[in-house]
């Protein structure tokens, strides 16, 4: 019986390490999401056209290839 209790104690000690690692990882993820939500979105570049903002961006090489 004493061996089983010692074995359970050792297993619980190892589990505590893993639980601590998981808790720290989740805390860092939570902190990263908090920072991402609190930072305002970057303004689009001034050289962007209205088509790019509407989601209709056509790469330059596409229009060059279609002309030939």
Distance CA 18, CA 21 (A): 5
- pTM to 2 decimal places: 0.46
pLDDT tens string, the chain, 68 residues long: the values are 888 888 888 888 888 888 889 999 999 999 999 998 988 776 665 555 555 555 555 555 555 555 55
pLDDT at 10: 86
As a three-state string, the secondary structure of 37-65 is HHCCCCCCCCCCCHHHHCCCCCCHHHHHH
Q: Where are the domains of the chain?
A: 1-40
pLDDT at 22: 94
């Amino acid at each position: 019986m004493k061996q089983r209790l010692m074995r359970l104690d050792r297993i619980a000690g190892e589990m505590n390490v893993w639980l601590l690692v998981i808790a720290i990882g989740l805390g860092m993820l939570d902190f990263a999401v908090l920072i991402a939500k609190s930072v305002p979105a970057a303004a689009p570049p001034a050289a962007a056209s209205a088509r790019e903002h509407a989601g209709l961006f056509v790469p330059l090489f596409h229009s060059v290839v279609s002309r030939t």
